[in-house]
Amino acid sequence: MKKNIIVTHVDADGIGSLVNIVRLTKIREYTAYYVNPEDLYNKLYEIARDIKDVSRIFISDLAPNRDKIKDLVMILKDLSEKDVEIFWFDHHIWDPMWIEEIKNVVAKLYLDTSTCATGVVKNALDPKDDFANELEKIICSIDLWRFDDPRSPWFTRIVSYKNTDDWRNLVASKLLETYDPYKFIEWGRRFVEESIDEELSEYDKYLRKSQTYKISDITIVGIVKRERSKIGTSQLAHYLLSAKNADIAVIIRMNGSISLRSREYNVREIAVKLGGGGHKLAAGGRVNLSLIDKMLMRIGLEKIVVKKILNIIGDIVSQKASHETDH
């Protein structure tokens, strides 16, 4: 039997879009890979190198990185020439040139910036499906920073209970098993209740360890987020923006990847300068960390590294402000 592969993002929208792909295409068997955008090329390279009996690859909630676009096109072309159909669903902002190049080497590219990736899949495959519609409402509330669905805090806490692919697969399987958001929440309630005290303690710790950087009238707050954290990235960023009265939140991971969040400032423009992308108010990129930086972070002396990264972002904000003033 020919295999189906799904390559999706590690967050709630990545899982939600995977669930809608499986439900709406009626796939019985599939292999899921959860990656961050900066790791997409490497994962597709691995798949292309070891490919055997694969008929379709679905990519969801992932946009190309500017510095890898040419290599990515070559990999996709190679896969297509091996009779693999590639379907790509995304809701991030793409450079028009990327769209043209990717369209030529995939079976179908679905882009829609008005919704989350879970919604892009639903709109492309079956806009009338009741469960897919409900899932879109919940996931978009989280991923697009709308916070307009009371079920979304439960979802984001259940999804971020463990930062492992085994857990993401279990979450996806439970959603596919129940096809009912309320039954899913009931299943995951015990995990949320079990971790609530730890979560509150983490918020306090992150607040104490956070650092701020001020450039003109823009306040930037930054923190290193631990891999085993019980708090979702967007939750943590939202909390820090409020607690520090900041304009931009910078969530740094041990591997150098960075998540940027804001309520008003266009953080995608910063992310693009860092080799990434995303949305106006939620984006991500990467900085190169030295061995010493990584060692300092691992032993809990991350303040030096956070200060260094906030300086880099501050310089980008300053350059943008100068450019706007000149024009």
pLDDT for 194 = 87
**189 versus 38: which is more confidently predicted?**
189
Stretch 266-293: mean pLDDT: 92
Residue 146 pLDDT: 85
- pLDDT for 323 equals 67
Instruction: List Cβ neighbours of 43 (8 Å cut-off, separation of 6 or more).
Output: 7, 33, 35
Strand partners, 60: 8, 89
Q: Is the pLDDT of residue 303 over 70?
A: yes
- CATH numbers and ranges of domains, the chain: 3-189 (3.40.50.2300), 210-326 (3.10.310)
Give the mean pLDDT of 279-307.
91
Distance CA 15, CA 171 (A): 8
Q: pLDDT grade, residue 148 (50/70/90)?
A: very high
Q: What is the pLDDT of residues 189-215, one digit of tens each?
A: 999 998 888 889 999 999 999 999 999
Mean residue pLDDT of the chain comes to 93
| pLDDT number for residue 102 | 97
Point out the least confidently predicted range of 12-21, 168-177, 191-200. Answer: 191-200
Q: Identify the band that residue 234 occupies on the pLDDT scale cut at 50, 70 and 90.
A: confident
Bridge partner list, 54: 3
CA angle 131, 126, 118 (to 5 degrees): 60
pLDDT band, very low/low/confident/very high, at 301 (cuts 50, 70, 90): confident
Residue 322 scores a pLDDT above 80: no
- Asked if the model's pLDDT at residue 247 lies above 70, the reply is yes
Q: Is the pLDDT of residue 327 over 70?
A: no
Residue with tokens 């890979």: 33
Predicted confidence band of residue 326 (pLDDT cuts 50, 70, 90): low
**pLDDT beyond 70 at 1:** no
What is the pLDDT, as a whole number, of residue 38?
87
Of the candidate ranges 96-100, 180-184, 323-327, the one whose mean pLDDT is the lowest: 323-327
With cut-offs at 50, 70 and 90, classify the pLDDT of residue 321. confident
Q: Read off the tokens for 130.
A: 């009741």
Does the pLDDT of residue 85 top 90, yes or no?
yes
* pTM of the predicted protein model: 0.87
**In the chain, which ranges are E strands?**
3-9, 31-35, 54-60, 85-90, 108-111, 211-215, 218-224, 248-252, 257-262, 277-278, 282-286
Confidence of residue 278 (pLDDT cuts 50, 70, 90): confident
Question: Would the pLDDT of 314 be above 90?
Answer: yes
State pLDDT tens for residues 89-105: 999 999 999 999 999 99
Q: What is the pLDDT of residue 325?
A: 60
CA distance 82 to 54: 9
Q: Could you tell me the two tokens for 88?
A: 């790509």
